[in-house]
Amino acid sequence: MLLAFLAVLLVNLLLVANIVTCLLVLTCVVITMVDVAGLMYFWDVDVNFLTATFIILSIGLAVDYSAHIGLAFMKNTGTREERIQKCLVELGSAVFNGGFSNCLALLPLAFSTSYAFKTFFKTFILASLLGLYHGLLFLPVTLSILGPSPYQSALKAKKEEAKGRHEAWSLPVREEATKVKTKNVKNDV
């Protein structure tokens, strides 16, 4: 399981490229897996080879929700609160819909009589729901408090966009437009 968490950290470092955001995403994944393992006890699921395999597989599911939010946070500019609001407006519904559709896909397994399918359902439904919670509630609050500054490329793009907007409003003045045309008026005296 530690190797899976290490893989999550390394892939996030490669793709997100910010150590603070990657550590916060990893924290969400670890907390999700601890919650899954703890709630499985109350759901009468024994710890065996099958449940351990399902928990390790569900790490990949849990990282999805947090990683998208973390990456979007890094791409937005503004204060931490503004960036997390933009992030949730842009991606919040998509992440929620992904988790919700995953729960719907797992729902038929709840009615299975097979131990393996029931265990799969219990593990993955917990990972989906808790991953959504940590990705859409816990991580945004944490990023709004501890979040790093945005990517330099995002700041540069914002400056260029602002410069482009300024230039668009100050149109070049053509010389012909500035000349005042006067009519020859004959004075009849």
Each residue of 124-178: pLDDT tens digit?
999 999 999 999 999 999 999 999 999 888 878 877 877 776 554 554 555 554 4
- 181 or 130: whose pLDDT is higher? 130
Average pLDDT score over the chain:
88
Mention every residue, 6+ apart, whose C-beta is less than 8 A from residue 130. 32, 35, 36, 39, 62
Cα dist. 4→33, 46, 121 in Å? 11, 21, 21
The pTM for the full model equals: 0.80
